[in-house]
Structure 1
Amino acid sequence: MGFSCCPFSLVFFLTIFSCLSLSLSQQPYVGKSTTACSIKDSSNSVLGYTCNGVNRSCIAYLTFRSFPPYDTVSAISHLLASDPSQISDRNSVSKAKTFETNKLVIVPVKCSCSGELYQVNTTYVIQHNDTFLLIANNIFQGLTTCQALEDQNSNLTTRLLYSGTRINVPLRCACPTKNQTELGLNYLLTYLVAKGDFVSSIANRFGSDTGWTLQANDLSEHNPTIYPVTTLLVPLKNPPSGSEIIEPPPPPPPSLSSPPSSSTEKDSNKTWIYSLLGAVGGSVVILGQWYLVYEYAANGSLSDWIYNDSKDGIFLSWNQRIQIALDVATGLNYLHSFTTPPHLHKDIKASNILLDSDFRAKIANFGLARLAEGEEGQFSLTNHIVGSIGYMAPEYLENGLVSTKLDVYAFGILLLEILTGKEIAVIYKENMNLSHALSAVLSDEVDQESLKLFMDFSMEEKYPYELAKFVVRVTYSCLEKNPGARPTMAEIVHSLTITLSNSMAWELSKTT
C-alpha cells in the first residue's frame, strides 16, 4: 500500500517541476539555422518559439523594415496580419503613411499558441520564382523560417510553389514567462537582427536591459553572438513607441541645382559627389592646377577579377561579388535619390569599378555623368549618344531617351558579368537574346543544371542556389526593355542587402 503511493508522488513532483521549468525557461535563440532548410531541429526554435508563457495569448510586437511594395501602413498591416490603426499609433504616423525604404516599423500583433508554439498566423500568395527560403528571408525578413513554412504547408515542396498559391505563414512571436512578468516585463518584441547589431545595442535601443535580453534568448555574456536575418526577443516593461526607433538622419546634401559661381566651386561640387561615392579622397591645387586625389585601388578594377581566369590563383567568392554589387548599387542610388537634382553616371561598367584592399567597390570615371533633367518617371532627350557598347539601354540607343533607368540597365549588365564571369560581348556571342538566356535559368526548377552552367565556374558552385536565382531575377528585371518596368536603385539596394545578409547566414551555416 505504501509502495503504491510512490508513482503518484513521482508524477506529482515531475508535473510541478515541469511547470516550474516552463515558467522560468526562456526561448532558445535560432542561431545559424535559418538558411539550412532541410534541418528541422525544434531545439533551437527554428519552427517557432515554445508556448511556455503565463498566457496562451497576448499582445506582442514585431519589427519590419519597409521596402516596396511593403512600405505603407496598409501593406505592412496586410502582410503581417496587424491592425493598421495600431501600426499608425505605435509609429506616430497616419494610416496613409508611406515609409522610406528600410525604415524600421513597429507592428503590434495578437500572439497565440498553436499547438506547442506561439505564432501570428498570416498568409502569402506565391509569386513567380518564389521559394520557401526567399519568402522567409526576403519577404518576411526572418520573421518566419523556411523550415516553419515547410512544416505548416506540408502539402507543398519548393518545386511545387506555383504562382497564385496561397500559403500559411507562421510569424515568430512569444508571450512573457512567469519569470519575466515577475520582473515587470509585460511584452516581448520580435526584433529583426541586421548586420552590425549587438544584443546590447538592440536592448539599449528599446530601453531594455542587456541581461534580460540575453536571458530571454537563452544567450550568455560569454557567447552573445547573433546573426543577420534572425530574430531576437526583446523584453519590455511598456509598449514600444516609434520615437524609440528613430535614428538620426544623415546630414542633408548640399543642393546642386544652382550653377557654381566659379570654376573652383564647380570642381569642389564634382569632388563632393565623387567623395560621397567613395571614389576619391578629395582635391588639391598644385602650381595653380586642380587635381583629384583618388583613393588607392589596391585590387585594381573589377574587370581584372571577373574576366580573367584567375588573379594569382584567387577568385572572388559569392559573398564578395554580392558585396561589390551592393556597393555599386548604393553609390548609384545616392546619385539618383540623394542629389538635387538627381544625377546619372551613364558609364557603369566593370572597368569603372575599382576595388580597395577589402574588395569594397568604388565607382570611378564620371566623364559622362549628367543631370537627370526629366521629372520623376519622365525622360529627357538627346541626340548625342555616347557610352560603352553592350551597356547602353535600348531606349537610349534607339530614341535618345535619358533617365536614371539608363544606369539601372547598365547595372543589370554589370550584375550579369559578375554572376557569369564573362564580358557582355562574350555573352552576346553565346546568346544574342539575354531575356531568353535568363528565362532558361529562372524556369529550371528540377536540377538547377541551367544555373550551374550560367554561373561563373570559378566559384565551384559554392553559392546558395536559391539566392543565386534570386539575383538572376534581379538582373532580369534590370534588363527589361521597357524602362518603366525596371526597378529603382533603391529597390535594388534593398534586394541586394537582404541577399548579402542571407548569404552571410548561409556561409555561417556551413561552418561548425
Structure 2
Amino acid sequence: MKWAMLNFFMFICFQSSCIKSQQQYSANEPLNCTNKSLYTCNGQHPSCTSFLIFKSQSPYNSVATIAALMSTNPSELALINNVSKTTIFPRDKEIIIPVNCSCNQQYYQATTSYHISPQSLTYFVVANLTFQGLSTCGSLIHANPYNQYELKDGFELKVPLRCACPTKDQILNGTKYLLTYRLSFGDTVNLVASRFNITVKSLLQANRISKTNTVYPFTTLLIPLPDKPSISETVIQRYNPPSSLSPARTSKARKSIIVGIAVVCSFLVILVSLVTILGVLYMRRKRKNENMTENEILPEDLLMKIASFERIIKVYSFKELQTATENFAHKRWIKGSVYRGLFGNQIFAVKKMGIDVCKQVNMLSKINHINLVKLYGFCKHQDSWYLVFEYMKMGSLKEWLKQTHSLRRRVQIAIDVANGLRYLHNFAKPGYVHNNLNTSNILLDGNLRAKISNFSLARKIDDVNDTRIVGTRGYMAPEYLGSGLITSKVDVYSFGVVLLELMTGKDAVFRYEGQEMLLKAAICAIMEGENAESEIWGMIDLGNEEIGSMDYAVQVVKLSLNCMKHDQESRPSMDEIVSSLVKIKIDLQCKTIGKYVE
C-alpha cells in the first residue's frame, strides 16, 4: 500500500514537467458521473489559449448569449467566427469559442458559471445538453458543493469546460493550439481530420487512439492545430446518420443511438420550456417598462449603450431594489453603501453610488471571468446609481486575513487574483488596468475563491497617463505616484503588495513600535540585512503549519519583491506570475502528499 501511495506521489509531483504523452480519449466515460473526465495537466505550459466548438441553440444563439454562457470575450468570439457582435446564429450553427485554459488541481479547464433553470436540475443535463458535452457531470459534482440530487432553480454552478494545452512534443511538431470538438453521428476520425485540415496521424496521436479504436457520438476529441482556427476554413458539418452498422459495432452503436434519442427528446422539452419562459419574461418586462416612473427613465445615450452591451446586463427598477433589500433595511446592510438583496432565489449585493456609473457599467459589460466580480444589473433613481453584483459570502480578503489560514489556501487565492489580472491585461478587449488593487477590493465567495472587485478607477491599457493621482496608500506604484503613468505593471506592483499581505498577515500600512510603516519597506529592509533568512521567517505567518512549508512561503515573498521592483520594465508579467504561483502550488501539494506517504 505504501509503494502504491509513493507511486501516486511521484506521478503528481513530476507530471507538470516530465509527462510528454498526449491526452487519452475518454470514450463514453464522461457519461458516467463518477469521474471528472477532464484532460490532465501534461502540457508544456500551465495555461494557454484554447478553443471549443459549440452549436447554437436557443436561447444561446447570439454572440452575446454564447459569450456569457462560456465566459469568453464577445469581441474575440465575433472576430474568430467572422460575424458582428449583434449576430443571431441559425440553429445548429457551429461556433468557435476561444477560452483561457488553465491547470487546476492536475486538470486543465476553462471555468464559467451557470444558473440552474427548472429545465436543467441535474448535473448530467447541464453538462450534456446545456454545455453539449463540453463539460462533464463528474467535474460538475467535484466543482460544486450541492448534492447532485438536491439541485434547485437559481443555484449558481461553477462549470469546468474541457480544454487542454499542447505538450512539449506537440509544440515541437508544430501544434500551437488544441480545440475541443464534440463528435456527432456519422463522424469518423478521417472525416474530422479532413474538416480541420490536419493529418489523421496527428489526430490519432493527440487523443492516444489507433485506427481500430471506436469513437462515439457525444464524446470529445482534441484537435491539434498549427494556427488559430477560423470558421471560414472549417468544413461545416452535415448530419448524416449511419444507414448500417457492422456486426462488431452493433452493440456499442445501439447504446449510442439510445443516448442520442434521449438527448434529442430532452432538448425538445427544454426548447419548448425555454420559449415559454422567455415569452413570460418578455411580457413581464414589457409591463414593467410601461409602469416606470419618470425618475426611473434612463438617459437616452445610456439606453443606446445597453443595446450594444456584450454581456446581458439587466436594468432594474428602483422598486425591485427596495423589495430585495427590504427598503435598504439595516439588517440587509453589509458595509459602506452595500446591501444584501434577495432577488427571487438568488442573493446579490446592491451598491449605491453617487457618481455616474455609465463608464463602469460599459466596461463591466465587456468583461466576464470567474475571478472578477460579475455585474448583473444596475438602476438609476433620482440622482443616485445602484449596481447589482454577485454576492461574495466571505467578504473581503482584508477581513479574512485577520485570522491565520493554511499556506495552500493563501497560494490558491493568489493564483485566483493573478488569473483575474491576467484576463484583464491580456484577454479583455480592450485590455484594462484595474489601477486600485488592494485586499479590500478582493472578495471571497462561499468556497473561498477570490474575485477582484471595484473597477471605478480602471483604465484602458492605452490610456497611458492620469492627471489625477488617486489610489490606496501602500499599493501605488512609484511611476504612477510620480507622473500618473498607467500600464499593466501598475497592477503588478499592487499585486506584489497583496502577496506580502497574504504571506505575513499584516496590512500594507501597519504600525510598528507606535509608528506607521509600509509593509514593502519593512520586508525590503529585512532582505537587505545580514540575518535576512531568519528575520523573514519571523515575519511570515504560518500559524500551526510545519516549518517545512516555510521555503514555499519565502518563494512567494521573493516573487512579490520582483513584482515591486522600482523599474517597471523589470517586473514580471501576469503570465509569468501565474506560472510561478502554479509551480509553487504543485510543489506544495507534492510536499503534503509526500508527508502522508512517509
Q: TM-score, normalised by structure 2?
A: 0.42
Q: TM-score, normalised by structure 1?
A: 0.48
Q: Which structure ranks higher in relative contact order (CA pairs < 8 Å, sequence separation ≥ 6)? A: 1
